[in-house]
Amino acid sequence: MKSIDIKSPAKINLYLKVLAKNDDGYHDIDTSFQLIDLCDNMSFQKIEKGITIKSNLSFLENEDNTILESAMSLLDLTHGKFGVDITIHKNIPIGAGLGGGSSNAASTIVALNKLWGLGLSHNKLVDIGLKIGADVPFFLHGNNAYGKGIGDLLRSRDSIEDKILLIDPKINNSSKKMFHMLDSWRGNNKHSSKYKQNDFWELFIEANKEIKEFYNITSLEYDLNLSGSGSCMFITYQTKKDIEEILKKIPSNWRFFFCKPLQYSPICYIK
């Protein structure tokens, strides 16, 4: 095998509860992960030596990203024996709570394990993924799941059936910063958040005036949800008629995507 092409999917969090902070800086969570069909396109071409990355987003071509980190982790196990040219076309919004970077990492780990014939076990791949990001084990799991621990304790569940309207306000949110802000907020507030679906809702709404206005004019009629630590929001629906009114209220400088749920990640089909 000389090349592998793969779609690297996004996820949404149907709910997200942030629990205690661990000594390693990660927080325990309680969540429900759902794969969706918004995907980045990735290809892996086997070469003799080295790792190169080409992308429609130039920042992915430097050394500070999850794709290179994943590739280097596997290459180190081979003592530099192999090489790969990686091409990625990004479609998943950046810093949006959709797990794009973690999904790309998982896709890279699975693809290179196959392309280079390493034969690493699933547990070994998860060990590698955990060092790169807390969401990577979910994407390696390849199936919708309830997540506990730091997101690495997974219990498979069936996909939802409704379609998803994904709303992107084009805000690049730092997960690390949002967790830090949540810790600070909880230290200064004795009352719990009134937003039950996602523990980041209150922080996100209060920090962004435009988000607050949009939430106020839509939340009475629609069950508006937040994914991850933000910034993407979503509602589930069955027919286009169900979302006619909310589409009229989305600001013109935002983006939105009509998505479908996935039961399995495309990485499950790498044989």
- pLDDT digit string (tens) for 27-79? 999 999 999 999 999 999 999 999 999 999 998 987 789 999 999 999 999 98
Which CATH code fits 163-259? 3.30.70.890
pLDDT at 140 over 90: yes
pLDDT at 200 over 90: yes
pLDDT band at 121 (very low <50, low <70, confident <90, very high): very high
Sole residue written with tokens 């979302």: 243
12 has which bridge partners?
A: 34
Distance CA 221, CA 248 (A): 13
Active site residues: 11, 135
Average pLDDT score, the chain: 95
- Write the class of the CATH domain 3-158: alpha beta
- Residue 5 has what pLDDT? 97
Q: Which residue has the higher pLDDT, 249 or 80?
A: 249
pLDDT at 132 over 80: yes
- Residue 261 has what pLDDT? 98
**Would you kindly state where each structural domain of the chain is located, as residue ranges?**
3-158, 163-259
Distance CA 122, CA 155 (A): 15
pLDDT at 190 over 90: no
